[in-house]
């Protein structure tokens, strides 16, 4: 988890502001590094665009309440209750955020944020996966926040006026990006498909990107003949 930082900012920079209830995710955080190897999956990644994995049903923390403020550079999180302590404030840089989701009904109206803050390793830099979920007062509110965050991540201009209109925010969203993934099952000591499913695909889903996955048929298909 990132260390708490001061969250003061000029009020004119605020695009959205609202109060949410805390919601504890049932999954664990994992490290992501192209040079590292771990077999941890991402059980609380979206099961598809806009949804949570059924294996990671979060649990409500009704005693926790937060004030969230969205600016062009950060998501500011201020804990209101219980009494603020060491982690009363959290600053989530948009540069570290890969995506967000709002699970479809009948799931609760959640705003789920996925980000990968950098950490230090003996070799290179790793990024440790973090997930935060907040319960909105209504699905319209959760969808409005989700659309605003996605617009900022896609480089779509957002103002405080457009941010207040959920339908207008959704109309501003560009068409989902699409990727063609070619996986050679013989690469990576024969673990390429497992790595793709446990590390790559969860991040792609978290970023709200559609994809077509093709598994190549032989050890030489993807790289060509030697």
Is the distance from CB of 21 to CB of 64 less than 8 angstroms?
A: yes
Domain definitions of the chain by residue range: 11-176
Which residue has tokens 């998501």? 75
End-to-end alpha carbon distance in the chain: 45
Our CA angle for 114, 112, 32, nearest 5°, is 20
Which residue has tokens 């705003």? 111
Q: What's the CATH code, domain 11-176?
A: 2.30.29.30
Is the distance from CB of 143 to CB of 170 less than 8 angstroms?
A: yes
Q: Strands (DSSP E) along 42-201, which ranges?
A: 59-70, 74-81, 89-93, 97-101, 110-115, 118-120, 125-128, 130-135, 178-183
pTM above 0.85, yes or no: no
Is the distance from CB of 66 to CB of 81 less than 8 angstroms?
A: no
25-54 tens-digit pLDDT: 543 433 333 333 333 233 343 433 334 443
Q: Give the pLDDT band of residue 5 (cuts 50, 70, 90).
A: very low
Structure tokens at 81: 């209750």
Across the chain, mean pLDDT equals 75
Task: Return the DSSP state at 222.
Answer: T
- Number of neighbouring beta carbons within 10 Å of residue 73: 14
Q: Give the pLDDT band of residue 159 (cuts 50, 70, 90).
A: confident
Residue 194 to residue 215: CA distance in whole angstroms? 12
Cis-peptide, bond into residue 106, ω within 30° of zero: yes
Per the document, the length of the chain is: 226
75-131 tens-digit pLDDT: 999 998 876 666 688 899 999 999 999 988 888 999 999 999 887 666 666 778 899
pLDDT at 171 over 90: no
Structure tokens at 113: 């944020």
Residue 68 to residue 80: CA distance in whole angstroms? 10
Residue 152: the pLDDT is: 92
Task: Return the DSSP state at 50.
Answer: T
Is the distance from CB of 134 to CB of 111 less than 8 angstroms?
A: yes
Is the distance from CB of 62 to CB of 21 less than 8 angstroms?
A: yes
């Amino acid at each position: 988890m990132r260390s708490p930082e001061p969250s003061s900012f000029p009020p004119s920079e605020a695009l959205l502001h609202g109060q949410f209830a805390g919601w504890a995710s049932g999954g664990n955080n994992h490290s992501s590094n192209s040079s590292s190897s771990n077999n941890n999956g991402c059980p609380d990644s979206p099961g598809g665009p806009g949804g949570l994995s059924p294996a990671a049903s979060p649990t409500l923390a009704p005693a926790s309440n937060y004030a969230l403020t969205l600016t062009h550079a950060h998501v500011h999180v201020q804990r209101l209750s219980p009494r603020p302590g060491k982690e009363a404030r959290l600053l989530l840089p948009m540069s570290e955020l890969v995506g967000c989701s709002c699970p479809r009904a009948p799931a609760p109206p959640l705003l789920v944020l996925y980000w990968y803050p950098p950490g230090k390793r003996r070799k290179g830099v790793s990024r440790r996966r973090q997930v935060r979920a907040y319960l909105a007062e209504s699905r319209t509110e959760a969808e409005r926040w989700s659309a605003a965050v996605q617009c900022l991540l896609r480089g779509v201009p957002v103002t405080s006026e457009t941010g207040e209109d959920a339908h207008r925010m959704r109309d501003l969203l560009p068409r989902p990006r699409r990727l063609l993934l070619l996986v050679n099952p013989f690469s990576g000591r024969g673990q390429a498909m497992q790595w793709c499913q446990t590390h790559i695909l969860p991040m792609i889903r978290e970023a709200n990107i559609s994809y077509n996955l093709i598994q190549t048929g032989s050890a030489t298909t993807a790289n060509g003949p030697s």
